[in-house]
A = this chain, B = another copy of it.
Amino acid sequence: MADGGNNGDGAGWVTMGEVAVRAGVSPMTVSRVLKEPDRVRPATRERVERAIAELGYVPDAAAGALASRQSRLVAALVSTLAGSIFASTIAGLGAALREAGHELLLGTTEYSSASEEALLRAVLGRRPDGLVLSAGQHTPAARRLLERATRGLAVPVVEIWQLPERPVDMAVGFSNFAAGRAMTAFLADLGYRRIAFIGVLGPDDFRGKRRHAGYVEVLAEQGLGPPRTFGSGGFGGSAGAGASVEEGAAGLAAVLERWPDCDAVFCGSDPIAFGAITEAARRGIAVPGDLAVAGFGDFDYAGDAGLALTTVRIPGERIGRETARLLLERKAGRLPEPVVVDLGFELVRRRTA
């Protein structure tokens, strides 16, 4: 048998071969101790485990991936980490994945759809065992890459934070439309009659538009007059929160100028609601006395000790964990069918409406 690897140069990682030599077994047995311990006799296993510990051996995942044809890597592509919209989902996804021996490869597009293809190529180069997508839109080139990965090859894809009518593969999220409806109906039930909507309704924000559509529908159903919508065309609902706060303040100003009789505002996101509340305070408008404000997302600062914002809570972390579960199930060969999981949402009434 060879010497087990890179002796001498001192700067290399310990290899499985070296562990094998030390334990007096073949590399194959070391591999089995790592992956199927039950198939190795306890005495042998202990010897190998001791060698692993003594040498500080850490298996090379790239080599393992090459040989086994599975990377144990799941790539998540989100528009941004800022604003903590996806942060809990990513955290849940990562934790659940790690428990199952997989790793999370994170890519953020930061709204540059030009770089989306580059990101996707880079990520596909790692041959991920699964793909998690938050964006709805893709460039044609990116779309083609995705197609190839999903159809021709067997890379499972999960779209999150929405329930597309025609999912690429699987989806975990909630109905933004239903959530928009629910909050609007809730405000109406509370007796508010002149409900405005402030949101970001730019071309990228598929989700925000769905929420707005829900708002519009309830207004029509309940005869609450035409929509009073202020929508900027900026970045998606997950835009840098700072920008959203500005928009909320500016949005409320615009709304009050155009419809001074408003008694409630439904904001497309919590940061927007925060900006609106700040602007209201600046103008001496009492919330909820003169004006009710509702948000969307139940972000970190919305709680009772802070804003006390009435909002819609999204089970962000559960979306992450469920996504991981789906991916793992699919990989294990169970769950051959595409699935769409609706995790719902929750109305949280606090003090602003």
Contact = CB atoms under 8 A, between A and B. Distances in A.
A66 interface: yes
Contacts of A308: 278
Main SS at interface, chain A? helix
A344 interface: no
A59 B125 CA distance: 6
A242 B56 contact: no
Interface stretch (A91-99, A176-184, A259-267): A91-99
A289 to B, nearest CB: 15
A258 interface: no
A321 interface: no
Interface string A76-105: 000011111001101100110010010111
B305 A153 contact: no
Contact of A98 (B10, B60, B63, B122): B122
A153 B301 contact: no
Interface stretch (A160-168, A215-223, A243-251): A243-251
Interface stretch (A106-114, A225-233, A325-333): A106-114
Contacts of A81: 81, 84, 87, 90-91
A285 to B, nearest CB: 15
